[in-house]
Structure 1
Protein backbone atom coordinates (compact mmCIF):
# COMPACT_ATOMS: atom_id res chain seq x y z
CA UNK A 1 0.00 0.00 0.00
CA UNK A 2 1.38 3.40 -1.01
CA UNK A 3 0.96 5.99 1.75
CA UNK A 4 -0.01 9.45 0.46
CA UNK A 5 -0.33 12.89 2.06
CA UNK A 6 -2.52 15.48 0.31
CA UNK A 7 -1.57 19.14 0.82
CA UNK A 8 -3.89 21.79 -0.61
CA UNK A 9 -5.33 25.00 0.81
CA UNK A 10 -8.89 24.29 -0.37
CA UNK A 11 -10.93 21.59 1.46
CA UNK A 12 -13.08 20.75 -1.61
CA UNK A 13 -9.92 20.11 -3.65
CA UNK A 14 -8.48 17.88 -0.92
CA UNK A 15 -11.77 15.97 -0.79
CA UNK A 16 -11.75 15.45 -4.56
CA UNK A 17 -8.13 14.33 -4.56
CA UNK A 18 -8.80 11.93 -1.68
CA UNK A 19 -11.67 10.31 -3.59
CA UNK A 20 -9.50 9.89 -6.68
CA UNK A 21 -6.50 8.55 -4.77
CA UNK A 22 -8.50 6.14 -2.65
CA UNK A 23 -10.32 4.79 -5.72
CA UNK A 24 -7.07 2.89 -6.29
CA UNK A 25 -7.02 -0.07 -3.95
CA UNK A 26 -3.22 0.07 -3.61
CA UNK A 27 -3.04 3.68 -2.40
CA UNK A 28 -4.16 5.11 0.95
CA UNK A 29 -4.37 8.72 2.15
CA UNK A 30 -2.71 8.84 5.56
CA UNK A 31 -3.15 12.58 6.19
CA UNK A 32 -4.14 15.96 4.77
CA UNK A 33 -2.63 19.43 5.21
CA UNK A 34 -4.21 22.81 4.56
CA UNK A 35 -1.09 24.99 4.59
CA UNK A 36 2.63 24.71 3.89
CA UNK A 37 3.82 24.62 7.49
CA UNK A 38 1.28 21.92 8.35
CA UNK A 39 2.39 19.92 5.30
CA UNK A 40 5.99 19.93 6.53
CA UNK A 41 5.05 18.95 10.09
CA UNK A 42 2.51 16.32 9.05
CA UNK A 43 4.93 14.73 6.61
CA UNK A 44 7.53 14.39 9.37
CA UNK A 45 4.93 12.88 11.71
CA UNK A 46 3.07 10.54 9.34
CA UNK A 47 5.98 9.63 7.03
CA UNK A 48 4.04 9.17 3.76
CA UNK A 49 5.76 7.71 0.71
CA UNK A 50 4.28 10.30 -1.65
CA UNK A 51 3.18 13.90 -1.04
CA UNK A 52 0.73 15.64 -3.39
CA UNK A 53 1.46 19.35 -2.90
CA UNK A 54 -0.32 22.36 -4.36
CA UNK A 55 2.05 25.03 -5.69
CA UNK A 56 0.07 27.82 -4.02
CA UNK A 57 -0.27 26.98 -0.32
CA UNK A 58 -1.34 29.37 2.46
CA UNK A 59 1.49 30.52 4.72
CA UNK A 60 4.61 28.69 3.62
CA UNK A 61 4.45 28.49 -0.20
CA UNK A 62 4.11 25.06 -1.77
CA UNK A 63 7.50 25.21 -3.49
CA UNK A 64 9.21 26.18 -0.23
CA UNK A 65 7.41 23.42 1.68
CA UNK A 66 8.25 20.90 -1.05
CA UNK A 67 11.94 21.85 -0.93
CA UNK A 68 12.06 21.38 2.85
CA UNK A 69 10.28 18.05 2.65
CA UNK A 70 12.51 16.81 -0.17
CA UNK A 71 15.66 17.83 1.73
CA UNK A 72 14.76 15.83 4.85
CA UNK A 73 16.33 12.42 5.58
CA UNK A 74 14.36 9.52 4.05
CA UNK A 75 12.24 12.08 2.23
CA UNK A 76 9.03 11.05 0.47
CA UNK A 77 8.50 11.62 -3.24
CA UNK A 78 6.90 15.03 -3.80
CA UNK A 79 4.50 15.66 -6.67
CA UNK A 80 3.44 19.26 -7.29
CA UNK A 81 -0.12 20.01 -8.39
CA UNK A 82 -1.23 23.27 -9.98
CA UNK A 83 -3.77 24.79 -12.34
CA UNK A 84 -0.99 26.59 -14.23
CA UNK A 85 1.96 25.01 -16.09
CA UNK A 86 4.24 28.03 -15.61
CA UNK A 87 7.94 27.69 -16.42
CA UNK A 88 9.25 29.18 -13.20
CA UNK A 89 7.19 26.75 -11.14
CA UNK A 90 8.40 23.73 -13.09
CA UNK A 91 12.07 24.65 -12.92
CA UNK A 92 11.98 25.69 -9.26
CA UNK A 93 10.11 22.56 -8.25
CA UNK A 94 12.37 20.12 -10.09
CA UNK A 95 15.55 21.75 -8.84
CA UNK A 96 14.14 21.72 -5.31
CA UNK A 97 13.92 17.93 -5.40
CA UNK A 98 10.35 17.41 -6.62
CA UNK A 99 9.97 14.28 -8.79
CA UNK A 100 6.56 14.96 -10.31
CA UNK A 101 4.66 17.92 -11.67
CA UNK A 102 1.02 17.49 -12.68
CA UNK A 103 -1.84 19.80 -13.56
CA UNK A 104 -4.92 19.65 -11.37
CA UNK A 105 -7.03 18.70 -14.38
CA UNK A 106 -5.01 15.53 -14.87
CA UNK A 107 -7.49 12.64 -15.38
CA UNK A 108 -8.00 10.41 -12.31
CA UNK A 109 -6.35 7.34 -13.84
CA UNK A 110 -3.29 9.38 -14.82
CA UNK A 111 -3.07 10.84 -11.32
CA UNK A 112 -3.08 7.45 -9.62
CA UNK A 113 -0.67 6.11 -12.25
CA UNK A 114 1.66 9.02 -11.45
CA UNK A 115 1.60 8.10 -7.75
CA UNK A 116 2.57 4.53 -8.59
CA UNK A 117 5.30 5.77 -10.93
CA UNK A 118 6.98 8.15 -8.49
CA UNK A 119 6.68 5.60 -5.70
CA UNK A 120 8.65 3.21 -7.93
CA UNK A 121 11.37 5.82 -8.42
CA UNK A 122 10.34 7.38 -11.72
CA UNK A 123 9.74 11.05 -12.55
CA UNK A 124 6.30 12.08 -13.71
CA UNK A 125 5.56 15.16 -15.83
CA UNK A 126 2.49 16.01 -17.86
CA UNK A 127 3.08 16.31 -21.64
CA UNK A 128 2.58 20.09 -21.49
CA UNK A 129 5.22 20.41 -18.78
CA UNK A 130 7.59 18.14 -20.71
CA UNK A 131 7.27 20.32 -23.81
CA UNK A 132 8.07 23.44 -21.80
CA UNK A 133 11.15 21.76 -20.32
CA UNK A 134 12.37 20.78 -23.77
CA UNK A 135 11.99 24.40 -24.90
CA UNK A 136 13.87 25.54 -21.81
CA UNK A 137 16.80 23.20 -22.45
CA UNK A 138 16.90 24.19 -26.10
CA UNK A 139 17.22 27.85 -25.16
CA UNK A 140 19.60 27.62 -22.17
CA UNK A 141 22.64 29.87 -22.38
CA UNK A 142 26.37 29.09 -22.50
CA UNK A 143 26.96 30.23 -18.92
CA UNK A 144 24.66 27.51 -17.59
CA UNK A 145 26.42 24.91 -19.74
CA UNK A 146 29.84 25.89 -18.40
CA UNK A 147 28.64 25.75 -14.79
CA UNK A 148 27.01 22.36 -15.33
CA UNK A 149 30.13 20.90 -16.96
CA UNK A 150 32.30 22.17 -14.10
CA UNK A 151 29.96 20.50 -11.60
CA UNK A 152 30.00 17.20 -13.50
CA UNK A 153 33.81 17.23 -13.57
CA UNK A 154 33.69 15.79 -10.04
CA UNK A 155 32.41 12.47 -11.42
CA UNK A 156 34.43 9.51 -12.61
CA UNK A 157 34.06 8.40 -16.23
CA UNK A 158 31.73 5.56 -15.23
CA UNK A 159 29.59 7.80 -13.03
CA UNK A 160 29.30 10.26 -15.91
CA UNK A 161 28.16 7.48 -18.22
CA UNK A 162 25.45 6.54 -15.75
CA UNK A 163 24.29 10.13 -15.31
CA UNK A 164 24.10 10.55 -19.10
CA UNK A 165 21.97 7.41 -19.31
CA UNK A 166 19.71 8.72 -16.54
CA UNK A 167 19.25 11.95 -18.51
CA UNK A 168 18.24 9.86 -21.53
CA UNK A 169 15.36 8.48 -19.46
CA UNK A 170 16.72 4.95 -19.07
CA UNK A 171 15.72 2.84 -16.08
CA UNK A 172 18.35 1.18 -13.89
CA UNK A 173 17.73 -2.11 -15.66
CA UNK A 174 18.18 -0.51 -19.09
CA UNK A 175 21.33 1.29 -17.95
CA UNK A 176 22.71 -2.01 -16.69
CA UNK A 177 22.13 -3.66 -20.05
CA UNK A 178 23.67 -0.73 -21.92
CA UNK A 179 26.76 -0.47 -19.71
CA UNK A 180 27.06 -4.19 -18.90
CA UNK A 181 26.59 -4.03 -15.15
CA UNK A 182 24.05 -5.32 -12.65
CA UNK A 183 21.05 -3.26 -11.63
CA UNK A 184 22.41 -3.12 -8.07
CA UNK A 185 25.68 -1.70 -9.36
CA UNK A 186 23.80 0.94 -11.35
CA UNK A 187 21.93 1.99 -8.20
CA UNK A 188 25.26 2.34 -6.41
CA UNK A 189 26.67 4.54 -9.18
CA UNK A 190 23.53 6.69 -9.24
CA UNK A 191 23.64 7.18 -5.46
CA UNK A 192 27.35 7.98 -5.54
CA UNK A 193 26.91 10.49 -8.36
CA UNK A 194 23.99 12.23 -6.65
CA UNK A 195 26.04 12.50 -3.46
CA UNK A 196 29.03 14.02 -5.25
CA UNK A 197 26.83 16.50 -7.10
CA UNK A 198 24.86 17.48 -4.02
CA UNK A 199 21.58 16.41 -5.63
CA UNK A 200 18.63 14.53 -4.16
CA UNK A 201 17.11 12.69 -7.12
CA UNK A 202 17.47 11.51 -10.72
CA UNK A 203 15.43 14.37 -12.16
CA UNK A 204 17.95 16.92 -10.88
CA UNK A 205 20.80 14.85 -12.31
CA UNK A 206 19.03 14.72 -15.67
CA UNK A 207 18.55 18.50 -15.66
CA UNK A 208 22.23 19.01 -14.91
CA UNK A 209 23.33 16.61 -17.64
CA UNK A 210 21.09 18.35 -20.17
CA UNK A 211 22.39 21.76 -19.10
CA UNK A 212 25.91 20.46 -19.72
CA UNK A 213 24.93 19.30 -23.19
CA UNK A 214 25.48 15.60 -22.49
CA UNK A 215 22.11 14.68 -24.03
Structure 2
Protein backbone atom coordinates (compact mmCIF):
# COMPACT_ATOMS: atom_id res chain seq x y z
CA UNK A 1 0.00 0.00 0.00
CA UNK A 2 1.43 3.37 -1.05
CA UNK A 3 0.82 6.02 1.61
CA UNK A 4 0.59 9.61 0.37
CA UNK A 5 0.53 12.80 2.39
CA UNK A 6 -1.30 15.76 0.83
CA UNK A 7 -0.09 19.22 1.82
CA UNK A 8 -2.46 21.40 -0.17
CA UNK A 9 -3.75 24.67 1.25
CA UNK A 10 -6.82 25.06 -0.95
CA UNK A 11 -9.67 22.91 0.40
CA UNK A 12 -11.27 22.37 -3.00
CA UNK A 13 -8.01 21.36 -4.68
CA UNK A 14 -7.06 19.13 -1.75
CA UNK A 15 -10.42 17.34 -1.83
CA UNK A 16 -10.24 16.86 -5.59
CA UNK A 17 -6.71 15.47 -5.46
CA UNK A 18 -7.62 13.11 -2.66
CA UNK A 19 -10.50 11.73 -4.72
CA UNK A 20 -8.23 11.28 -7.74
CA UNK A 21 -5.44 9.58 -5.79
CA UNK A 22 -7.74 7.29 -3.82
CA UNK A 23 -9.24 6.04 -7.06
CA UNK A 24 -6.09 3.91 -7.22
CA UNK A 25 -6.75 0.77 -5.16
CA UNK A 26 -3.19 0.47 -3.84
CA UNK A 27 -2.89 4.09 -2.70
CA UNK A 28 -3.95 5.54 0.66
CA UNK A 29 -4.09 9.28 1.29
CA UNK A 30 -3.70 11.28 4.49
CA UNK A 31 -4.85 14.84 3.76
CA UNK A 32 -3.53 17.80 5.74
CA UNK A 33 -2.67 21.45 5.42
CA UNK A 34 0.02 22.26 7.98
CA UNK A 35 0.56 25.91 8.80
CA UNK A 36 4.21 25.66 9.88
CA UNK A 37 7.23 23.51 8.98
CA UNK A 38 7.22 22.21 12.57
CA UNK A 39 3.69 20.87 12.12
CA UNK A 40 4.71 19.04 8.97
CA UNK A 41 7.91 17.63 10.46
CA UNK A 42 5.96 16.14 13.34
CA UNK A 43 3.32 14.76 11.02
CA UNK A 44 5.93 13.13 8.79
CA UNK A 45 7.48 11.45 11.80
CA UNK A 46 4.13 10.19 13.06
CA UNK A 47 2.71 8.73 9.85
CA UNK A 48 5.84 8.01 7.78
CA UNK A 49 4.31 8.47 4.30
CA UNK A 50 5.94 7.05 1.19
CA UNK A 51 5.72 10.41 -0.57
CA UNK A 52 4.25 13.91 -0.30
CA UNK A 53 2.11 15.82 -2.80
CA UNK A 54 2.27 19.52 -1.97
CA UNK A 55 1.78 23.09 -3.03
CA UNK A 56 4.97 24.90 -4.04
CA UNK A 57 6.52 25.40 -0.61
CA UNK A 58 10.15 25.59 0.54
CA UNK A 59 8.88 24.64 4.01
CA UNK A 60 7.53 21.33 2.74
CA UNK A 61 10.78 20.46 0.96
CA UNK A 62 12.80 21.35 4.04
CA UNK A 63 10.58 19.36 6.40
CA UNK A 64 10.67 16.35 4.08
CA UNK A 65 14.44 16.42 4.28
CA UNK A 66 15.03 17.01 0.57
CA UNK A 67 17.26 20.00 1.13
CA UNK A 68 20.20 17.86 2.24
CA UNK A 69 19.24 14.51 0.72
CA UNK A 70 15.82 13.05 0.05
CA UNK A 71 14.07 11.42 2.99
CA UNK A 72 10.48 11.58 1.74
CA UNK A 73 10.05 12.22 -2.02
CA UNK A 74 8.03 15.36 -2.76
CA UNK A 75 5.83 16.13 -5.77
CA UNK A 76 4.93 19.79 -6.15
CA UNK A 77 1.79 21.09 -7.84
CA UNK A 78 1.27 24.74 -8.68
CA UNK A 79 -0.70 27.08 -10.90
CA UNK A 80 1.41 27.79 -14.01
CA UNK A 81 4.81 27.56 -12.27
CA UNK A 82 7.50 29.57 -14.04
CA UNK A 83 10.78 28.13 -15.33
CA UNK A 84 12.88 29.65 -12.53
CA UNK A 85 10.41 28.49 -9.89
CA UNK A 86 10.64 24.95 -11.27
CA UNK A 87 14.44 25.05 -11.39
CA UNK A 88 14.57 26.21 -7.78
CA UNK A 89 12.23 23.40 -6.74
CA UNK A 90 14.37 20.82 -8.52
CA UNK A 91 17.55 22.19 -6.97
CA UNK A 92 15.86 21.98 -3.56
CA UNK A 93 15.13 18.29 -4.12
CA UNK A 94 11.61 18.01 -5.55
CA UNK A 95 11.16 14.73 -7.42
CA UNK A 96 8.11 15.78 -9.43
CA UNK A 97 6.48 19.00 -10.64
CA UNK A 98 2.93 19.25 -12.00
CA UNK A 99 1.00 22.30 -13.21
CA UNK A 100 -2.49 22.75 -11.81
CA UNK A 101 -4.31 22.84 -15.15
CA UNK A 102 -6.97 20.91 -17.05
CA UNK A 103 -4.80 17.79 -17.21
CA UNK A 104 -3.42 17.98 -13.68
CA UNK A 105 -5.36 14.98 -12.35
CA UNK A 106 -3.81 12.61 -14.88
CA UNK A 107 -0.39 14.17 -14.48
CA UNK A 108 -0.50 13.81 -10.69
CA UNK A 109 -1.27 10.11 -11.08
CA UNK A 110 1.60 9.73 -13.55
CA UNK A 111 3.90 11.67 -11.22
CA UNK A 112 3.06 9.51 -8.21
CA UNK A 113 3.65 6.32 -10.20
CA UNK A 114 6.98 7.60 -11.51
CA UNK A 115 8.28 8.92 -8.18
CA UNK A 116 7.09 5.86 -6.25
CA UNK A 117 9.04 3.80 -8.79
CA UNK A 118 12.23 5.72 -8.09
CA UNK A 119 12.05 8.12 -11.04
CA UNK A 120 11.44 11.85 -11.41
CA UNK A 121 8.51 13.44 -13.26
CA UNK A 122 7.83 16.75 -14.97
CA UNK A 123 4.42 17.41 -16.51
CA UNK A 124 4.57 18.24 -20.25
CA UNK A 125 3.61 21.88 -19.69
CA UNK A 126 6.33 22.20 -17.04
CA UNK A 127 8.92 20.69 -19.37
CA UNK A 128 7.87 23.15 -22.08
CA UNK A 129 8.38 26.08 -19.69
CA UNK A 130 11.88 24.84 -18.85
CA UNK A 131 12.79 24.41 -22.50
CA UNK A 132 11.46 27.87 -23.37
CA UNK A 133 13.54 29.32 -20.56
CA UNK A 134 16.65 27.50 -21.69
CA UNK A 135 16.15 28.57 -25.29
CA UNK A 136 16.02 32.21 -24.24
CA UNK A 137 19.41 32.07 -22.52
CA UNK A 138 21.28 29.31 -24.32
CA UNK A 139 24.01 30.41 -26.75
CA UNK A 140 23.36 29.80 -30.41
CA UNK A 141 24.78 26.56 -31.75
CA UNK A 142 27.16 27.15 -34.68
CA UNK A 143 25.76 26.14 -38.07
CA UNK A 144 28.57 23.62 -38.57
CA UNK A 145 27.57 21.76 -35.40
CA UNK A 146 23.90 21.74 -36.37
CA UNK A 147 24.73 20.33 -39.80
CA UNK A 148 26.86 17.57 -38.34
CA UNK A 149 24.13 16.58 -35.92
CA UNK A 150 21.59 16.55 -38.74
CA UNK A 151 23.80 14.13 -40.64
CA UNK A 152 23.22 11.50 -37.95
CA UNK A 153 20.36 9.06 -38.10
CA UNK A 154 17.73 9.30 -35.34
CA UNK A 155 19.18 6.22 -33.67
CA UNK A 156 22.76 7.51 -33.85
CA UNK A 157 21.63 10.79 -32.32
CA UNK A 158 19.82 9.02 -29.48
CA UNK A 159 22.85 6.81 -28.78
CA UNK A 160 25.10 9.89 -28.73
CA UNK A 161 22.73 11.71 -26.38
CA UNK A 162 22.72 8.85 -23.89
CA UNK A 163 26.49 8.40 -24.04
CA UNK A 164 26.95 12.14 -23.48
CA UNK A 165 24.76 11.81 -20.38
CA UNK A 166 27.23 9.32 -18.96
CA UNK A 167 25.62 6.03 -19.92
CA UNK A 168 27.89 3.06 -20.58
CA UNK A 169 27.58 0.96 -23.73
CA UNK A 170 25.74 -1.71 -21.74
CA UNK A 171 23.34 0.85 -20.25
CA UNK A 172 22.60 2.35 -23.67
CA UNK A 173 21.97 -1.13 -25.04
CA UNK A 174 19.55 -1.95 -22.23
CA UNK A 175 17.69 1.36 -22.48
CA UNK A 176 17.26 1.20 -26.26
CA UNK A 177 16.76 -2.58 -26.37
CA UNK A 178 19.77 -3.08 -28.62
CA UNK A 179 22.77 -5.37 -28.49
CA UNK A 180 26.08 -3.91 -27.31
CA UNK A 181 27.55 -4.61 -30.73
CA UNK A 182 24.79 -2.55 -32.36
CA UNK A 183 25.42 0.36 -30.00
CA UNK A 184 29.14 0.25 -30.80
CA UNK A 185 28.30 0.16 -34.50
CA UNK A 186 26.13 3.29 -34.18
CA UNK A 187 28.97 5.07 -32.38
CA UNK A 188 31.54 4.06 -35.00
CA UNK A 189 29.27 5.31 -37.81
CA UNK A 190 28.60 8.59 -35.98
CA UNK A 191 32.24 9.51 -35.33
CA UNK A 192 33.26 10.39 -38.91
CA UNK A 193 29.96 12.22 -39.45
CA UNK A 194 30.76 14.42 -36.46
CA UNK A 195 34.37 14.88 -37.51
CA UNK A 196 35.73 13.40 -34.27
CA UNK A 197 38.10 10.53 -33.61
CA UNK A 198 36.86 8.84 -30.47
CA UNK A 199 34.03 8.53 -27.96
CA UNK A 200 35.40 11.22 -25.63
CA UNK A 201 35.51 13.76 -28.46
CA UNK A 202 31.97 12.75 -29.46
CA UNK A 203 30.74 13.42 -25.93
CA UNK A 204 32.41 16.84 -25.92
CA UNK A 205 30.85 17.59 -29.31
CA UNK A 206 27.38 16.62 -28.04
CA UNK A 207 27.66 19.08 -25.15
CA UNK A 208 29.02 21.91 -27.30
CA UNK A 209 26.29 21.30 -29.87
CA UNK A 210 23.55 21.52 -27.25
CA UNK A 211 22.44 17.90 -27.66
CA UNK A 212 22.68 17.52 -23.91
CA UNK A 213 21.45 20.33 -21.67
CA UNK A 214 21.82 20.37 -17.89
CA UNK A 215 19.51 22.63 -15.90
Shorter-chain TM range is 0.5 to 0.7
Find the counterpart in structure 1 of residue 113 from structure 2: 116
Runs of 5+ in structure 1 lacking a partner?
Answer: 56-61, 143-160, 181-209
Matched, 1:63 2:58: yes
Task: Say if 2:38 is the partner of 1:42.
Answer: no
Aligned residue pairs, count: 160
| TM-score normalised per structure 1 | 0.60
Residue 189 (structure 2) aligns with: none
Report SS of the residue matched to 2:165: helix
After superposition, the Cα gap between the structure-2 partners of 1:112 and 1:172, relative to the gap in structure 1 and judged at 3 Å, is farther
Query: Higher relative contact order at CA 8 Å, sep ≥6: structure 1 or structure 2?
Result: 1
* Structure with the greater alpha carbon radius of gyration: 2
Q: Establish whether residue 75 from structure 1 lines up as the match of residue 76 from structure 2.
A: no
Q: TM-score, normalised by structure 2?
A: 0.60
Is 2:94 aligned against 1:98? yes
CA contact (8 A) 1:31 1:46 kept: no
Contact 2:99 2:125 in 1 (8 A): no
Matched-pair contact (CA < 8 Å) for 1:4–1:51: yes
Bigger mean CA offset, 110-119 vs 65-74 = 65-74
> Deviations for 1:153-190, whole angstroms, at most 9, x for unmatched residues?
xxxxxxxx878157xxx99952897889xxxxxxxxxx
* Aligned Cα root-mean-square deviation (Å): 3.5
Distance 1:115 1:162 in 2: 28
Q: CA deviation at 1:23?
A: 0.8
Shift in Å at residue 17 of structure 1? 1.4
